[in-house]
A and B are shown apart, each in its own frame.
Chain A
Amino acid sequence: MNQRHDHFPEGADFNASLRNRYRVATIWQTIFLSALLIAIIALTALLYNVVDGAFGFIAYEYKDDPAEFTSTPVNELTKDELLVILKENLSSGAYNKLENEQPMQERSQADLLTLFLERLVRIDTKGTWSMTDSLLRGDEIRVEVAEKYPDAILEFRSWLTPQFLTTPMSSKAEFAGVRTAILGSLWMVGLAILFALPIGTGAAIYLQEYAPKGWLTSIIQTNINNLAGVPSIVYGMLGLAVFVRTLEAFTSGSMFGVTDSNGRTVLSAGLTMGILVLPLIIINAQEAIKAVPDSLRQAAYGVGATRWQTIWHHVLPNALPGILTGSILAISRALGETAPLIVVGASTFISIDPDGPFSKFTALPIQIYQWTTRAQSEFHAIAASAIIVLLILLLTLNATAILLRNRYQRKY
């Protein structure tokens, strides 16, 4: 009996060693938890950084004094006054061009004011500050600006405005918007899903319901899993070689009589993105189909259904919420992808809305990339605003996916 206990600590010794072990355990637990805290801090910092950039002081001067055009203070100009001023002071060529894009009468007061500030008085930005700086060092900034640019107007500005969503690109950050980019993103994602959802679902049905166990099936499956891990820029290169170049006649629309474009169209981008999200859709749809219980298939076969009748009437309807959830996730992936779009040639400056699959296009992430890499800080401010727009879009999509999943979770 005693011998058995000889080499083990007993009583107080044991308690002391146990306490020590617990202490070590607590330390490690804290370390494990802190990894997650770092993740939370990183996420917070990222979101803070974006919001911080989208609001803040801007100091600007007018190249031409507004008083030269009107006696009314800029903030109080009415739509009618603006119309008159623009008509009188813009060259007739420039005015007609604007009129052609959208009749001046139909434009809002805010739009006209933008034109006034952009074309006539011509704002010249001297500096911008982040939200934190603006709030904490407001007085310092005021002094600094007054010293350096005595004529400058300093105001707190939200770069993210309703107008930011509805105005097209502009070479001046103050007047730029993401309308063209949002429309381009929507066209691109729409085409991608139109292509990838039916094919992806079809592939998943084939693999789950038809494919015999064998080398071909296992090659297809392995291949799909691998495609999901191929860097997105490689898909861009594939799109460049296949859609932009080889199939140019199709993607530029020249075989349909469209003459004014090359292969760098929203169709090429959509197809490229469709191929990119295809594995994602297949894998998700496979999971959804797998979750449909076999008893349901047997019940259908038991009353003399063919394979397709069973799939169409029972398997697909029950797998549909899962398939849709997967597609929404694929959509949000496609919305955020940037690299393939750069490669297939998204236009970096374009102010005409895409109006069909053969249009040139830009996309939200492309604009974010462009603006982030500009040196002037006002472009960083609109990059931040565009990021907020993109993140809200993605958040909405993902929330929809989660709701869909919870709403239709079936108990068999």
Chain B
Amino acid sequence: MQNTRTYAIESNDLSIHYGTFTAVRGVNLKIERQKITAIIGPSGCGKSTLLRSFNRMNDFVPGCYATGELLLQGQNLYSKDIDPVEVRRKIGMVFQKPNPFPKSIYENIAWGARINGFKGKMDDLVEQSLRSAALWEEVKDKLQESAYALSGGQQQRLCIARTIAIQPEIILMDEPASALDPISTLRIEELMQELKKNYTILIVTHNMQQAARASDYTAMMMIDDQRAGGVIEFDETKSIFTRPKDKRTEDYVTGRFG
């Protein structure tokens, strides 16, 4: 535990700013390998902003920049000589709304692998990825059909499959089930449990039950008096939900707040 190499990723005093406004302040997280870590907190507390900073998705927001350190294998992802494209290749992302490419199911998975120089057998990779995302049985006969023909839940699993296909170290999930019905949500949660055997997962969720059910660790975020978000408590999920140390966390998880 004390060896940094056992952490998947860790942040040291990471802050994210939009121009002069600080959206997230001073985050110190050590994310365990092959575990699911949930980030919870009331809306507007910077959960998504923090998550997106982990694979430098915020680079595309004009005026947005980060200070502090975000370490992956001892390399600071925000140092000048780091290539954001390489970062995203190692840290995949599943978005809030399913966003498949307007291409065939097959292409959706093959494209990422191809641009990243995959040289193996593409058919096998597509099948493996779809199986890992528990989607293979449903789509194996219609791989060439448009991904838009799938249901919302299937689309989201396709997006997960797409991310798995490039074999990242870490998968970021930004409220992946918020646009889905309860059954689809459950399937995604089951899938996460399977995926954590091989991947480290970081998930932002609005849904308290989901965090309690599905995650191993939980980070609780809250905004301070300057409207900047910060992590106020980070611990095993059990502890957060049964004996929170911070009063605000207790209020939040018991539903007295937000």
Contact = CB atoms under 8 A, between A and B. Distances in A.
Q: In the complex they form, do A and B come into direct contact, defined as C-beta atoms under 8 angstroms apart?
A: yes
A241 interface: no
Contact of A299 (B60, B86, B101): B101
Q: Which of under 10, 10 to 19, 20 to 34, or 35 or more describes the interface residues of A?
A: 20 to 34
B112 A303 contact: yes
Interface string A394-412: 0000000000000000101
B89 interface: yes
Interface stretch (B7-15, B38-46, B90-98, B246-254): B90-98
Contacts of B115: 303-306, 309, 313
A296 B57 contact: no
B176 interface: no
A171 to B, nearest CB: 58
A304 B95 contact: no
Interface string A85-101: 00000000000000000
B62 A302 contact: no
B111 A313 contact: yes
Nearest to A313: B111
A314 B100 CA distance: 11
A31 to B, nearest CB: 48
Interface in B101-123: 101-102, 111-112, 115-116
Contact of B101 (A300, A301, A309): A300
Interface stretch (B130-138, B159-167, B208-216, B224-232): B159-167
Contacts, number: 69
A299 B103 CA distance: 13
Nearest to A213: B62
Nearest to B97: A295
Contacts of B159: 299
Contacts of A410: 102
Most buried by A among B57, B85, B162, B165: B85
A17 interface: no
Given A295-B99, A296-B99, A298-B99, A304 B86 contact: yes
Q: Which of under 10, 10 to 19, 20 to 34, or 35 or more describes the interface residues of B?
A: 20 to 34
B55 interface: yes
B60 A303 contact: no
Nearest to A306: B85
Contact of A305 (B55, B85, B90, B93): B85
Contacts of A318: 102
B88 interface: yes
Interface string A276-308: 000000000000000001011111111111100
By secondary structure, the A interface counts as: helix
B83 to A, nearest CB: 9
Contact of B166 (A212, A301, A304, A314): A304
Contacts of B89: 303-304
B20 to A, nearest CB: 16
A303 B162 contact: yes
Contacts of B94: 302
A353 B154 CA distance: 60
A300 B111 CA distance: 9
B114 to A, nearest CB: 9
Nearest to A314: B101
Contacts of A212: 62
B112 A305 contact: yes
Interface string A200-238: 000000000000110000000000000000000000000
A295 B57 CA distance: 12
Contact of A303 (B88, B97, B102): B88
Interface string B66-95: 000000000000000000011011101111
A280 B151 CA distance: 39
Given A213-B62, A295-B95, A302 B111 contact: no
A297 B59 CA distance: 13
Contacts of B85: 301, 304-306
A299 B95 contact: yes
Contact of B88 (A293, A301, A412): A301
B212 to A, nearest CB: 27
A306 B102 CA distance: 19
A355 to B, nearest CB: 43
Contacts of A299: 95, 99-101, 159, 162
B101 A302 contact: no
8 contacts: A296-B101, A297-B60, A299-B101, A299-B159, A300-B101, A303-B89, A304-B112, A304-B116
A-B residue pairs, 8 tightest by C-beta: A304-B89, A303-B112, A295-B99, A302-B93, A299-B99, A304-B88, A309-B115, A306-B85
Given A213-B62, A298-B99, A302-B94, 13 more contacts: A295-B99, A296-B99, A296-B101, A297-B60, A298-B57, A298-B93, A299-B99, A303-B88, A303-B89, A304-B90, A304-B166, A305-B115, A309-B115
